[in-house]
Structure 1
């Protein structure tokens, strides 16, 4: 009687690793817009569970036909991810090593919630902010940045000055992107921006709160230029921040366009 032997596995071609002759390197190749649950450090609760959208890319040399897309997903799923600067660096290093890439890039965007108290009634409600962690690696060197979009109220100083009754205001989005040399809470970046607006936003307001925020904005008018300058001045004084970009877009209430301003600075570069 002839014994059955285990079938030998059939070799499967690795097409991605075959040579390419066009001599055209690719700057970024990978996966985009994949969702994954994450845990983010929270200043008041310790950590916050949320859902993040990931973009993961590597550089592809001219002599390789393709990259191994499945490895990006494997890296993401191998971690019970509590996101921090250190864990982000680990993911970048692992990605560049496993995909044999000199350069790599990861973006992680997620909604971040803060439980805020209304200014007069004290009623609590959640406010959401869009946060993005961006990590890059090149030849083993990491660069980490954090981007936060903070919605606020701005009131026009010109409208207040020339009008006999009231002044027009609008919602504004202040986008703050920072590179730091030590740990900074997400809440700190949000509070910094809100403190320099005409008034901050709240998820829920009672009538006394609405009176307060209306009068607060009226007493604190800001042009879009004022907003970026005031935030930039605060960042200039913060020694934890090595580089920043602050942008403000005012969604005008009396025009069919937005007003926009931006200040960008790298403190480590020599001043002009």
Structure 2
């Protein structure tokens, strides 16, 4: 015989008297499977790390942590940019919050073709969707970390032969005005680096990329300036942060540069 269901106390909904509002409260680093559509029309199946937060008024003791996971469960395998916005709206509504924040961090793969041999391989990029909502208006920021090659102009100038190079991580964090493929940001970075990276190279390809980088030397300052100039011309970009960290091959430290521009303020 079933036992009658008794009303259980809701401690989170009890009143807090400390009069201290919390800016962000929620769950951090929860892994979940997602599908992401790429520019070729295919869908990539990957695993994303989610951080999900809302604000908490001063008079509420706690938020309902289980509701964050329920929202992820309801969107299983169906997360796109549009459904990501929907999740933000739903999260604020379900948790009765004034503002919300979701981060979705995942590995994204691009099939690349070697420049001479034509062999194909996959290269991975770290991508983050960052969603913010206040009231009912969500905004999305896309962050992409692009590995690339940079070759030092000074080293090339002063050396009788050769020049030192480094692998760089170039990061674009972009607020968008309209639809933008992840590959659009990746392409932009790879065109402005000394040379792009490939997952697989044959010997003729290795010769090509070595010589291509040598003929296209760039300081860390050059990389961020050249990328920023292209972002300034792109009407799909409302604002951006572009960063480059060059992992030096002749020092035990990195070189770093950053440009930030909110185009809507100009």
Pick the TM interval, shorter chain.
over 0.9
Correspondence for 1:174 = 170
Q: Distance in 2 between matches of 1:163 and 1:122?
A: 33
What are the superposed Cα offsets for residues 74-122 of structure 1, whole Å, 9 maximum, x if unpaired? Answer: 0000113433332111100100000000000000000000111111001
Q: How far does residue 41 in structure 1 lie from its aligned partner after superposition? A: 1.3
Q: Which segments of 5 or more consecutive residues in structure 1 lack a partner in the other structure?
A: none
Backbone CA RMSD of aligned residues: 1.0
Q: Which has the larger radius of gyration?
A: 1
Is 2:187 the partner of 1:191?
Answer: yes
Among 211, 216, 240, the alignment partner of 2:212 is 216
State the number of aligned residues. Answer: 266
Correspondence for 2:4 = 8
TM-score computed with the length of structure 1 as normaliser: 0.96
Among 237, 248, 253, the alignment partner of 1:241 is 237
Q: Distance in 1 between matches of 2:22 and 2:148?
A: 39
Among 102, 108, 111, the alignment partner of 2:107 is 111
Correspondence for 1:56 = 52
Q: How far does residue 8 in structure 1 lie from its aligned partner after superposition? A: 2.5
Is 2:67 the partner of 1:71?
Answer: yes
Is 2:79 the partner of 1:101?
Answer: no
TM-score computed with the length of structure 2 as normaliser: 0.98
Correspondence for 1:204 = 200
Do the aligned partners of 2:88 and 2:101 also contact (CA within 8 Å) in 1?
Answer: yes
What are the superposed Cα offsets for residues 181-205 of structure 1, whole Å, 9 maximum, x if unpaired? Answer: 1111111110100000000000111
**What pairs up with 1:111-130 in 2 under 5 angstroms?**
111-130=107-126
SS at structure 2 position matched to 1:82: coil
Moved over 4 A (4+): none
Q: Distance in 2 between matches of 1:255 and 1:192?
A: 28
Greater shift in the superposed pair: 39-48 or 245-254: 39-48
